[in-house]
């Protein structure tokens, strides 16, 4: 097994509340891993810990052997973890394509002098960045709205734009926080196809938080189930679906919710 991410004994307390407790995870390169559980289970908190927005109160995290604990968010992103946000965080005032271009810092190798004098190096990098941004937007089916204001897009398109923006930074591990929220069944299935596609094309590993069980069961190689910050199950989709405590804590509840 070729592990890309290794988390051991991760914990986070907010005051007295234990949002994440003894969380461990090994991600195999190239896989899609699901993270599910009821509302408030601690899923988003784990993403925030992994991306340096929160700092853990216990445990270790490493990406390809590099320690992540204590690093700034931007540094973790530069090391190769990209993410989307459950509560969408686009640059709403800017155009769709500018949102993607903003994230292309890795492809801009020029310095300040190049920028001031618009040297050939500056022009070459900028042309490359624009071209790649357009390719990413086309890939997500947003090519037609690239000059619109990002904040004016419908919800589903905003979620897709967040994915395009995350990809522009060339991550090796992509964290998706409820990418199908607000999408109908058809759009969700389209998203599934898309996630598979980019995983392959960009040689990505994906960690996915999602409440749409059809999406999760369809796409994930393995799934971890959380409840009140604790891991109650970890296995392939079949095992998870058959697990008694998962049904009690979550799957039963979602069936109820959907009915």
Partner 1 sequence: MLSSYAQGLIILVCINVIAVTGVSLLTGFTGLFSFGNAGFMALGAYVSAIASVELHAPFLVSLVAGVLVAAIIGFGLGRLTLGLRGDYFLIATLGFGQVVQVLIEFFDKVTGGARGFANIPPKTTLWIAVVLAVGSVAVAANLIHSKFGRNFTAVREQEVAAEAVGIDTFRFKQMAFVLSAMFAGFAGGLFAHYYMYIVPKMFDINESALFTITVVVGGLASLSGSVISCVVLTLLPELFRSLASYRMLFYGMAVVAIILIRPSGLMGYHELSFGWIRERMRAKRGKTASKERKT
Ligand X SMILES: Nc1ncnc2c1ncn2[C@@H]1O[C@H](COP(=O)(O)OP(=O)(O)OP(=O)(O)O)[C@@H](O)[C@H]1O
Nearest to residue 52, comparing CAs of 38, 37, 66?
A: 66
Q: Please say whether the beta carbons of 96 and 45 come within 8 A.
A: no
Q: Which is nearer to ligand X, 14 or 117 (CB)?
A: 14
Q: What residues line the site for partner 1 (CB under 8 A)?
A: 51-53, 72-75, 77-78, 82-83, 85, 89-94, 98, 101-106, 108, 110, 112, 114-118, 122, 126, 165-166, 168-169
Neighbour-count burial of 202, counting CB atoms closer than 10 A to its CB (0-12 exposed, 13-18 middle, 19+ buried): middle
Q: Which does 14 bind (CB under 5 to 8 A by kind): partner 1, Mg ion, ligand X, none?
A: ligand X
Q: How are the residues of the chain apportioned to helix, strand and coil, as percentages rounded to the nearest 5?
A: 45, 25, 30
Least separation in angstroms between CB 39 and partner 1: 22
Q: Which is nearer to ligand X, 139 or 226 (CB)?
A: 226
Q: Which does 75 bind (CB under 5 to 8 A by kind): Mg ion, ligand X, partner 1, none?
A: partner 1
Q: What residues line the site for ligand X (CB under 6 A)?
A: 14, 17, 19, 37, 39-45, 86
Least separation in angstroms between CB 23 and Mg ion: 14
Q: Which does 172 bind (CB under 5 to 8 A by kind): ligand X, Mg ion, partner 1, none?
A: none
Q: Which does 158 bind (CB under 5 to 8 A by kind): partner 1, ligand X, Mg ion, none?
A: none
Q: How many CA atoms, within 13 angstroms, populate the side-chain half-sphere of residue 119?
A: 10
What does the block give as tokens for 140? Answer: 């997500």
Least separation in angstroms between CB 210 and partner 1: 19
- Alpha-carbon distance of 70 to 49, in angstroms, equals 10
Contacts of 237-244 with CB under 8 Å at 24 or more apart are 237/34, 241/217
């Amino acid at each position: 097994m070729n592990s890309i991410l290794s988390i051991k004994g991760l914990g986070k307390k907010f005051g007295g509340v234990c949002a994440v407790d003894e969380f461990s995870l090994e991600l195999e390169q190239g896989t899609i891993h699901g993270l599910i559980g009821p509302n408030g289970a601690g899923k988003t908190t784990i993403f925030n810990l992994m991306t340096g927005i929160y700092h853990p109160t216990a445990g270790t995290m490493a990406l390809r052997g590099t320690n992540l604990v204590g690093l700034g968010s931007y540094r973790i992103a530069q090391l190769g973890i990209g993410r989307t946000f459950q509560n969408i965080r686009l640059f709403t005032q800017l155009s769709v394509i500018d949102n993607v271009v903003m994230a292309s810092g890795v492809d801009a190798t020029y310095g300040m002098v190049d920028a001031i004098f618009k040297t050939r190096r500056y022009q070459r990098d900028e042309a490359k960045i624009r071209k790649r941004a357009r390719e990413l937007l086309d890939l997500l089916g947003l090519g037609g709205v690239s000059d619109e204001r990002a904040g004016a897009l419908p919800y589903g398109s905003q979620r897709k734009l967040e994915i395009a923006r995350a990809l522009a930074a060339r991550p090796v591990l992509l964290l998706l926080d409820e990418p199908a929220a607000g999408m109908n069944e058809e759009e969700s299935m389209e998203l599934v196809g898309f996630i598979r596609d980019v995983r392959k094309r960009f040689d990505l590993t994906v960690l996915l938080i999602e409440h749409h069980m059809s999406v999760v069961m369809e796409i994930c190689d393995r799934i971890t189930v959380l409840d009140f910050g604790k891991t109650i199950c970890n296995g392939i989709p079949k095992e998870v679906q058959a697990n008694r405590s998962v049904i009690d804590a979550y799957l039963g509840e979602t069936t109820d919710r959907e009915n």
